[in-house]
Structure 1
């Protein structure tokens, strides 16, 4: 195998970080372990990141900012379904343990927590606000809907199932969250 550089090497390193994080939690992400798993050397890692926490932060922020794309589907219901389905994909199956490990990493790293809250959570709040604003403009969402609560409602159920109950996270759940909870709560009064 030839020497990897650039995007190929970066991808291998980030994949190693995520694999170690999912399997062993944040303490398993050491420069030695990442170098071994990515088939590279520690000096290569240290040229890019000053320490394991910076490598972990950078990798997690990249995953978080690209895993939940926002799209305008043409309807409020479609937009919310798309968001919650993206969360479902992250939480269900093989990536579920990784998402639990992300929370563990955030809990023990104040710098990661601050970055995660400002960049990822802040971005998600803005995108949810935009979805609700489009819904209001289309007449699908009442203007006085409590957006600051409703934007978290569906996601909080998914997080609760991932972290607390272990109950299934599937498309039926997502559809029920949207149709049975969110849509009735945002519906304009004249449609009730």
Structure 2
């Protein structure tokens, strides 16, 4: 059997992390467990990550940032539909339990909390600010929109449903949020 390298090895390691997280929770993600599940060695892992929490954080941050679209669709409505559909797919797909588990783990791991805030939330805030700036330039978002509220408004409903109420997250909800909440909030007056 040939030695795996690059993307193939990275995918095997990250798949192992997610499987262990799903089966045993964050505490189960150890360098030993990941190395065994990924069929690699601990030194290979330690060359890339200083410890298991760093490996877990890096894997979870990669999932979150890759799942949410951030391309310009040409309209605020199109951009927000894409963004919220990305969140909805992440929150209702096979990785939803992992997201909840990661949020639970963050309560006991200040580094994971900070990594999530800086990596995922910080990235999202910057992307949403850019999305709103594009809307202002196009004229479909008012120039005085409170960016710090507008960038979180739709996503907060999805997070609340995922973590608190368990109410359905579906495309009808996404469209309703965009058309009945977000567009009226940001539209030029």
Shift of 1:75: 0.3
- Structure 2: state its 5+ residue gaps: none
Question: Are 1:119 and 2:100 an aligned pair?
Answer: no
Per-residue Cα deviation, 1:1-58 (whole angstroms, up to 9, x for no partner): 4332222111100111122223332112112221222122333323332221121122
Separation of aligned partners in 2, 1:114 and 1:17 = 20
Task: Tell me by how many angstroms 1:105 deviates.
Answer: 2.7
CA distance in 2, matches of 1:23, 1:157: 28
Gaps of 5+ in 1: none
Partner of 1:75: 75
Q: Name 1:16's counterpart in structure 2.
A: 16
Q: CA deviation at 1:138?
A: 1.2
Contact 1:25–1:104 (8 Å) recurs in 2:
no
Distance in 1 (alpha carbons) for counterparts of 2:165 and 2:155: 15
**TM-score, length-scaled by structure 1:** 0.91
The list of structure 1 runs, each at least 4 consecutive aligned residues, that deviate by more than 4 angstroms after superposition, is none
3-state SS in 1 of match to 2:3: coil
Instruction: Report the equivalent of 1:171.
Output: 171
Partner of 1:180: 180
SS in 1 for 2:95: helix
**By how many angstroms is 1:69 displaced?**
3.0
Partner residue, 2:66: 66
CA deviation vs aligned residue, 1:127-173 (integer Å, no higher than 9, x gap): 10111111111111111222211211111110111111111111111
> Which deviates further from its counterpart, 81-90 or 23-32?
23-32
